[in-house]
Amino acid sequence: MSDSRQPYRSHRRRKKSHAGRLGLAGALTGAVGIAAVAGAIVVLRPGTSDRAQSSAPSLASQGDGAAVTSVPAPKAGPPVGFTTPEGYGYSLAAVMAGTSRQPLGATPAPPSGTTYAYADYVLTNSGRRPVLLDFPADLFMPKSRIPSSAQERCMPQAGIPDDMCTLPNHSKITARVGGSKAPVEDGGDTMIPAGASYVVRVASDLPVEEDLSADDLRLYVWNARFTSDRKGVRLAFP
């Protein structure tokens, strides 16, 4: 009988030992599972941080002033202030006007006997918060000095003298004034930091007569977003 009981006791010990191994395996599995979850959290956090970092404002492209040089404040005419319906405040002051065959760098050469017109002005964020980068001023010239091929493209505007018109043009920041910070990209918009000033050049996309004088050129702000009374505001050169 003692021999018949021996295997039974041995069987119970093996069962207990097996249960112990199962308990240990379960504990190890649980520990590994916890470690895996913890590891997953650690891996996910950098992704969250990256997303937060990517949503922060970044420097705008060179064309919007991020990499242009800094210059002392140029001599300019009296500044004129404008406020948009959104509450953005801008100050503009005319610097100079002239003609050039390449007013904004790599420009296709105009036909013989013609050139391009341009004007420079200082654009300032006059508020205490960032404002949308906008170019409120347009370049105007006497319609009589526009080549016949471009006459139909030179448009008069409300509030501007009838003998003046504006050709298709584009504007570009050519310098930052003093220690002004570069524009920043924020949510797809390019913003001017508070107090920053830039030199902006507006140049005609179509040619004008080569003998057009700088005295013939004018800078006006006429868009209803900046002038609620629909009257053009002239920026006087120094």
pLDDT of residue 167: 97
**The pTM of the whole model exceeds 0.85:** no
Is-contact 70 179, C-beta < 8 A?
A: yes
Tokens representing residue 55 in the block:
């949503």
Neighbours of 157 (CB within 10 A): 16
Q: Which amino acid is at 142?
A: P
CATH class held by domain 59-235 = mainly beta
Torsion on CA atoms 43, 45, 48, 49, rounded to nearest 10: -120
- CA 150 – CA 128 distance, rounded (Å): 42
For residue 28, with 0-12 CB atoms within 10 Å meaning exposed, 13-18 middle and 19 or more buried, which class applies? exposed
Q: Tell me how far CA of residue 114 lies from CA of 80, 96, 224, in angstroms.
A: 32, 20, 32
SS3 state of residue 206: coil
Torsion on CA atoms 65, 68, 74, 79, rounded to nearest 10: 0
Q: How many residues does the chain have?
A: 238
- CA 234 – CA 238 distance, rounded (Å): 13
Domain boundaries, the chain: 1-56, 59-235
Q: What are phi and psi of 225, to 5 degrees?
A: -65, -25
pLDDT one digit per residue (tens) for the chain, 238 residues? 444 443 333 333 344 444 444 444 444 444 444 444 333 323 333 333 343 333 344 444 434 445 689 999 999 999 999 999 999 999 999 999 999 999 998 778 899 999 999 999 999 999 999 999 999 999 999 999 999 989 999 999 989 999 999 999 999 999 999 999 999 999 999 999 999 999 999 999 999 999 999 999 999 999 999 987 778 999 999 9
- CA 170 – CA 175 distance, rounded (Å): 16
**Cα dihedral 146, 152, 158, 161 sign:** positive
Q: Which amino acid is at 66?
A: A
Tokens representing residue 237 in the block:
């050169």
Identify the helix (H) or strand (E) that includes residue 226: none
Is-contact 207 90, C-beta < 8 A?
A: no
Q: What are phi and psi of 33, to 5 degrees?
A: -60, -45
Is-contact 112 147, C-beta < 8 A?
A: no
- CA 131 – CA 124 distance, rounded (Å): 10
Q: Which of 238, 162, 169 is nearest to 201 (CA)?
A: 169
